[in-house]
Structure 1
Amino acid sequence: MNKAINIGIEEQAREEIGQGLSRLLADTYTLYLQTHNFHWNVTGPFFQQLHVLFEEHYVELAEAVDEIAERIRALGILSPGTYQEFADLSSIKEVKGDIPAEEMIERLVDSHETVVRTARQVLEIAQKADDESSASLVGDRLVVHEKTAWMLRSHLQT
């Protein structure tokens, strides 16, 4: 027997928030994979700096994936967890092939900004439902992705 969830958020609102968080999870996981890919495959004069930087980013993203998925579950919604579900839900474009380090950085900036846009949509849904826990989580993610996009963008300026 499953006990009904009674956390002060209506079922429909929990489902809407869960759907939004699922999109955020998919974007975050896709960005994690992209960043890890670039960590493995970066080359050029800034290899060491970028290799280390990308590792810092994917480690942070791995922790974020877990936090987002656990929040979805706390809302009583089944969290997506397959490549296919993530591919269907994500707004981030997959990168294939060998690309130069500068293009990797450009793609990561675009991907972090995509996550920011997704997070803003989810934040609005969570705030409308008075879901402070989800809003706080999403707000924290916004700070991380906006700052990371800015820092990566700085690598592209001459």
Structure 2
Amino acid sequence: MKVNIGVPEKHLQEVADKLQVLLADEHILYTKTRNYHWNVVGDNFSEMHLFFEKQYGDLAEIIDEVAERIRMIGHYSTGRLVDFLKLTNLLEPEYTSKQSEQIKNLLDDHETIIRSLRELITEFSDKQKDLGSSDFVTGLLRQHEKMAWMLRSYLAK
């Protein structure tokens, strides 16, 4: 059934396409965070193991929300890893068990997503006239800013 929410289908398609990229970025960041959860080492192993677990748990919820937003506006969500790798803006670095590198890598990814979300907020509201999706990504911006702050706090000297 077609979606009739006061936003032209062409605009909903454009929003869905942008959200697919965001969904891919969220998946890559989730996987990277989970990898670091598994492979962290150091005298604060327990703390970092739990810290990464909390972060990937939050990302899992974000992933679900992004996929459901795509469905709400009448489109199917991408769900194959091969598609995520084609769409993502994020890079996968070499394996590392060094906490400072892990944290810096995750922080860089959150900040990349934050910059993208800032652009999407105004694009969705001004160009596509989809205030619901604009508000949705504004909420995600706050979540990523908080996660980035938490990561940044480990790097402060």
TM-score band by shorter chain is over 0.9
Asked whether the 8 Å contact 1:20–1:121 carries over to 2, the reply is no
The percent identity for this pair of structures is: 40
Asked whether the 8 Å contact 1:17–1:126 carries over to 2, the reply is yes
Asked whether the 8 Å contact 1:23–1:118 carries over to 2, the reply is no
> Match for residue 155 of structure 2?
156
> Match for residue 50 of structure 2?
52
Q: Distance in 2 between matches of 1:121 and 1:22?
A: 15
Cα shift at 1:140: 0.8
Asked whether the 8 Å contact 1:25–1:65 carries over to 2, the reply is yes
Could you list the runs of 4 or more consecutive aligned residues of structure 1 that deviate by over 3 angstroms after TM superposition?
none
Q: TM-score, normalised by structure 1?
A: 0.93
Structure 1 regions of 5+ residues with no counterpart? none
Cα shift at 1:100: 0.6
Q: Secondary structure at the match of 2:94?
A: coil
Matched letter for residue 43 of structure 2: P
Asked whether the 8 Å contact 1:21–1:122 carries over to 2, the reply is no
> Which range is displaced more, 70-79 or 29-38?
70-79
Alignment of 1:55-94 (within 5 A): 55-94=53-92
Cα shift at 1:118: 1.9
Matched letter for residue 98 of structure 1: T
> Which range is displaced more, 118-127 or 60-69?
118-127
Q: TM-score, normalised by structure 2?
A: 0.94
Structure 2 regions of 5+ residues with no counterpart? none
Q: How many residues align?
A: 156
